[in-house]
Amino acid sequence: MLIAITGPNGLLGREVLKVFKKECEVVELPHDILDITDLNQVREVLSSYMPTVLVNCAAYTAVDRAEEEPEKANLVNGLGVRNLALACRKLDISLVHISTDYVFNGNTDTPWRIFDKRHPINAYGYSKYLGERYLETINHKYFLVRTSWLFGSGGPNFVSTILRAALKKGELRVVNDQFGCPTYALDLACFLLKLVKTGAYGVYHVTNQGITSWYEFAKEILRQAGINIPVVAVSSDEYVRPAKRPKNSALDPFPLKETVDILPPSWQDALSKFLSEALTKECLD
């Protein structure tokens, strides 16, 4: 089985490449080989490789910047997915696409289910919503996998941001009224492979287990890293950012366990694994 991976140099793409290479033949499709916003190029490149499965890790991920350049976010996260879906349908390629908790508005007290109504509240979330809609209306052979609060060693993320800030400041201020599920990129990559093996197309939520706030997440990061500095809880109103964030973006995992027989570990265990590996490799950037 030949697996093609777009965005192989990003935070998630690196882990997907590492995990899939253990069991599959893999071809990397970075931006200089495949620009997913160019439909003709997408068709040409995929026709030349003819993978069995395409895992799309290419994405515009700058949540706040998307408020200033929504067209760019829509081009990559929306039209780019349309282009992949069209080419994959014509070539009979299964498409794995990664989406986000930000397609939901956050106005609920319970975790979001896979078919709950989507109503993004920022430009980034809307661009990912566009991608989902294109995918589900064009190519029926797809895995649409939503995830949230991603961390790992392949790029900027909350864990490394907190650790760097802790080394420079005597106190951290972190919002305590936004809730979600942290996700280790390596665990997500492993579950993408498990899903591909099942051939059970559909929509899935893949996160590490457990719900927390950014504030409690930050405290646990520092605790596990052995850093003892004060962490002050602040409200979203006190910490204003360009893009509005959902209050609750926790994701319900059903039917992940029913499909692959297991759920990812807790976010605390995942964080411990990441920190031990990252500190050993000095790769927290």
* Distance between CA atoms of residues 145 and 205, nearest Å: 6
| Active-site residue (options: 60, 102, 124, 184) | 124
* Distance between CA atoms of residues 283 and 105, nearest Å: 33
215 in active site: no
Name the residue type at position 162. Answer: I
Alpha-carbon Rg for the chain in angstroms: 18
What would the DSSP string read from start to end of 54-120? EEE------TTGGGT-HHHHHIIIIIHHHHHHHHHHHHT-EEEEEEEGGGS----SSPBPTTSPP--
Q: What angle do CA 259, 260, 265 make, to 5 degrees?
A: 125
Q: Residue 36 corresponds to which tokens in the numbers above?
A: 């997913």
Mind telling me the catalytic residues? 124
